[in-house]
């Protein structure tokens, strides 16, 4: 088992690899490393041995927030070091598990469902999606839309 500081450094590396447009949009959220998921959390989520959790998002997804949302404690992403390491064969496997778990939980922060996250993960592993390229395409489309509708009133 690696030290907490070594594990945390891998979490920081995974976070740094997330495209800047997503990192910049993440506000008032704590990313913490814990040894194991608490028994009450496992019970609430009806996770029974031998299953466990690698990570958990707790908070109000961006898509569910109203204009009055504010003055709240930070949302929280917990990464569970024990289960992540137990599910990994070696250090490289641990790096991948950390990144996948972190991205999965960040998806929940942005309001994505389990199904949507699984679809994104499948596309990623099939090599069918680069978030940066999609972002650039979206920006080009937005610029085209703006140019076409310059004289139209904004609603």
Name the residue ranges covered by the structural domains of the chain.
Answer: 4-112
Has residue 4 got a pLDDT over 80? yes
Question: E strands along 11-58, which residues?
Answer: 29-34, 55-58
Has residue 136 got a pLDDT over 50? no
Q: 78: Cβ–Cβ under 8 A, 6 or more apart, which residues?
A: 32, 33, 34, 37, 55, 56, 58
Q: 60: Cβ–Cβ under 8 A, 6 or more apart, which residues?
A: 69, 72, 75
Backbone φ and ψ for 43, nearest 5 degrees, come out as -65, -45
Give the SS3 label for residue 78. strand
Length of the chain as a residue count? 155
Q: 88: Cβ–Cβ under 8 A, 6 or more apart, which residues?
A: 94, 96, 97
Q: Which fold has domain 4-112?
A: Zincin-like (3.30.2010)
**More confident of the two residues 139 and 57:** 57
Q: What is the pLDDT of residue 32?
A: 97
Q: Which pTM does this prediction carry?
A: 0.76
Q: How confident is the model at residue 86 (pLDDT cuts 50, 70, 90)?
A: very high
pLDDT digits (tens, 9 = 90+) for 20-67: 898 999 988 999 999 999 999 999 999 999 999 999 999 988 787 777
């Amino acid at each position: 088992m690696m030290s907490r500081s070594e594990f945390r450094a891998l979490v920081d590396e995974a976070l740094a690899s997330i495209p800047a447009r997503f990192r910049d949009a993440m506000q008032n959220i704590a990313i913490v490393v814990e040894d194991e998921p608490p028994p009450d959390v496992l019970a609430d989520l009806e996770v029974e041995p031998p299953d466990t959790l690698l990570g958990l998002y707790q908070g109000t997804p961006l898509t569910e927030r109203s204009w009055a949302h504010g003055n709240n404690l930070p949302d929280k992403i917990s990464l569970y070091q024990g289960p992540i390491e137990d599910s990994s064969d070696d250090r490289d496997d641990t790096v991948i598990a950390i990144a996948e778990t972190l991205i999965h939980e960040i998806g929940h922060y942005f309001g994505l469902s389990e199904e949507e996250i699984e679809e994104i993960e499948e596309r990623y592993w099939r090599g069918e999606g680069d978030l940066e390229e999609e972002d650039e395409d979206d920006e080009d489309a937005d610029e085209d839309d703006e140019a076409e509708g310059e004289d139209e009133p904004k609603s």
